[in-house]
A and B are shown apart, each in its own frame.
Chain A
């Protein structure tokens, strides 16, 4: 049987590459079944057929990626990296709910009582630290031993997972910041300390277990805030000079981490 319409070269190429949307691919399949001319133009090799069946099989057995993974792919993140980021243990709904709850508590407290504003600023850098502490290591990751012998294990995987944690915690804190009863500059004063603390934790984890690094950096952060309070008040640790220092720390440590991750 032949028909007057035939599939175009471009359509055929996309069909062969497996990049056609499922409904269109099904239509091409149906057409090929009835059109000898088009069927003759489709290469029929056992390797090609096997690969095609393999792709179909994979599509059938693979569940649909989660919303986080789909969102990352839509944002242009390569598929394998999106998979790595979305599978971070602390990227669970429970952890994100905890971050939202902590931020909401900080905002509500500051709005209720203006003197509690520093509580939000102090808390915001601690949240990513908690996320990073729970993102990597034998205690946090049930499959740690299985993954620890792979080439990406170690600083590269930790950095990937920390990026996932920061990518969630930082925007959530940014959304919460305008709700604070403070001028924009002050309400975002947690951002650089947060990045500095996260990068310090990652750098320290080269020598210490991740949870210990996070605890050490968290304690240091509280000590810095406490020292600032003793010398000039709760907001001293968020002043311009301190912000420059946090920025420099974050930049230099991020550069060091980048060097470590590409080794």
Chain B
């Protein structure tokens, strides 16, 4: 459905994308990676807001490098940027309505019905008449998500969608995204490994502009198999560890003295993969 081939993007002397190859189909795909790994650059290239320096993107048989095909692709995608700006003097309804016009929903009745639908999806019906500047951070994030849902896009691109959401809102978000992922392609980037574990059937870990892992969350967790330990006494200070809620110490890497192994999670696999625990 979406194929990325040898994609490169350079900012000054640094490669944000260094010859990335990727294929994404129906379902929810999560992108994990440290800051500067190239996640946002990749999502911007997929969303057609950034032109790569080299390589190609093919989405539904459309090439975003061609202006006509780019417009055709934009008709099929919804995009939540990492830092969505707003017009603060617009109401929530007006902002989504404005994006709907830019998405070529010109019939007033149909457009307004669609705006009401997406606002209801993100539980913002009650705030529809509120000016954006009066909305909380979490509400703004949901508003940004609402505009991405307009027109039920075939490809949904979400850059750190859970930032600023409280636990209840994250549950709402998960429900919404998992439903979307049943019939369309959803690509999301996040720093929240629990979101990946809960939502994504596939996870891609990026580092320095390349994919260093591509598999299921379970497979990512397995990367840390035999490297996660619990002990009753604190490991040596040179090790990375933390105290868990039951008072024991959790360590990643080599086995500390008097520790026993435990099942790894997605976060353990991610940290092991990036070599940040040891």
Contacts and interface: CB of A to CB of B under 8 A. Distances in A.
A80 interface: yes
Contacts of B101: 80, 83-84, 152
Contacts of B3: none
Contacts of A63: 91, 94, 129
Nearest to A142: B85
B37 to A, nearest CB: 19
A147 to B, nearest CB: 6
Given A62-B91, A143-B84, A146-B144, A151 B102 contact: yes
Contacts of B83: 145
B242 interface: no
Given A51-B113, A63-B129, A263-B68, A146 B94 contact: no
A51 B110 CA distance: 10
Nearest to B48: A149
Interface stretch (A31-39, A53-61, A186-194, A245-253): A53-61
A144 interface: yes
Interface stretch (B6-14, B16-24, B73-81, B252-260): B73-81
A244 interface: no
Interface string A251-263: 0000000000001
Interface residues of B, number: 42
A150 interface: yes
Contact of B74 (A60, A145, A146, A149): A149
Interface in B65-106: 67-68, 70-71, 74-75, 77, 79, 81, 83-87, 90-91, 93-95, 97-99, 101-104, 106
Given A83-B101, A153-B102, A61 B93 contact: yes
30 contacts: A54-B116, A55-B112, A57-B116, A58-B112, A61-B91, A61-B93, A62-B129, A63-B94, A78-B106, A80-B108, A84-B101, A87-B98, A142-B86, A142-B87, A143-B87, A145-B85, A146-B86, A147-B99, A147-B102, A149-B48, A149-B49, A149-B74, A149-B79, A150-B74, A150-B102, A151-B75, A151-B102, A151-B104, A263-B67, A263-B68
Interface of A: 51, 54-55, 57-58, 60-63, 78-80, 83-84, 87, 141-154, 157, 263
Interface of B: 47-49, 67-68, 70-71, 74-75, 77, 79, 81, 83-87, 90-91, 93-95, 97-99, 101-104, 106, 108-109, 111-113, 115-116, 128-129, 144, 147, 157
